[in-house]
């Protein structure tokens, strides 16, 4: 788990951007008992993806839509893998 400043450095972003992305629902870091944000490696990967989409010209609403669609595709692919395994048995 990484503090916000470390996660921002790892994703090559400004700390304030991470706060904006959280307010917009693009990222949901864990919190310490004291309320400090803690970012996982998966969160940092998501931040990097957000940066890529920003560089492609998407706005934050568009990025949110792309991230939701990518998550749905991943879920459907996993469902298909499970079905194929179940059919083999």
Q: Please state the domain count of the chain.
A: 1
- Which residues constitute the domain of residue 37? 4-88
For 33-88, how does the pLDDT look when each residue is reduced to its tens digit (9 = 90+)? 999 999 999 999 999 999 999 999 999 999 999 999 999 999 999 999 999 999 98
- State the pTM of this model: 0.86
Query: In degrees to the nearest 10, what's the CA dihedral of 31, 32, 36, 38?
Result: -60
For 9-47, how does the pLDDT look when each residue is reduced to its tens digit (9 = 90+)? 999 999 999 999 999 999 999 999 999 999 999 999 999
Under 8 Å CB-to-CB from 12, ≥6 apart: which residues? 48, 51
Structure tokens at 19: 């706060």
* Predicted local confidence at residue 2, as pLDDT: 96
**Domain with 64 in it: what CATH number?**
1.10.1660.10
Percentage of the chain modeled with pLDDT above 90: 97
Under 8 Å CB-to-CB from 48, ≥6 apart: which residues? 11, 12
């Amino acid at each position: 788990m990484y503090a916000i400043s470390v996660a921002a450095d790892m994703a090559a972003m400004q700390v304030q951007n991470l706060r904006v992305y959280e307010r917009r629902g693009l990222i949901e870091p864990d919190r310490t008992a004291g309320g400090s944000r803690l970012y996982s490696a998966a969160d940092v990967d998501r931040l990097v993806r957000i940066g890529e989409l920003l560089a492609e010209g998407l706005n934050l609403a568009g990025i949110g839509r792309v991230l939701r669609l990518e998550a749905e595709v991943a879920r459907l692919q996993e469902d298909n893998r499970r079905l194929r395994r179940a059919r083999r048995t």
